[in-house]
Amino acid sequence: MAKKKLKEIVINQDWCKGCGICVSFCPTKVLELDKADKATVVRPEDCICCKMCELRCPDLAIEVLTEEGDKDE
């Protein structure tokens, strides 16, 4: 199975209510709350594409876009 590579983490700032659930569930601390208490991506290079932030966001404000990496053959 091909490993997923991060293309982009899209956060809809209008939908984000700043609950911090995504920040709490991120195993690699990619997300933080900014000064306006909105989720923001601070370390995209650490993202492992687990999509826990996307799955746990109650407001559907986060989307993790991936591209398939090279397949092991």
Catalogue all structural domains in the chain, each as residue range(s) with its CATH number: 4-67 (3.30.70.20)
The pTM score is 0.82
Token couple for 60: 């559907």
SS (H, E, C) 2-70: CCEEEEEEEECCCCCCCCCHHHHHCCCCCEEECCCCCEEECCHHHCCCCCHHHHHCCCCCEEEEEEECC
Average pLDDT over every residue of 50-60:
97
Token couple for 37: 């208490």
Give the separation between CA 5 and CA 17, rounded to whole angstroms: 27
Nearest to 42 by CA among 19, 73, 11: 11
pLDDT value at 73 more than 50: no
Band (69; pLDDT cuts 50, 70, 90)? low
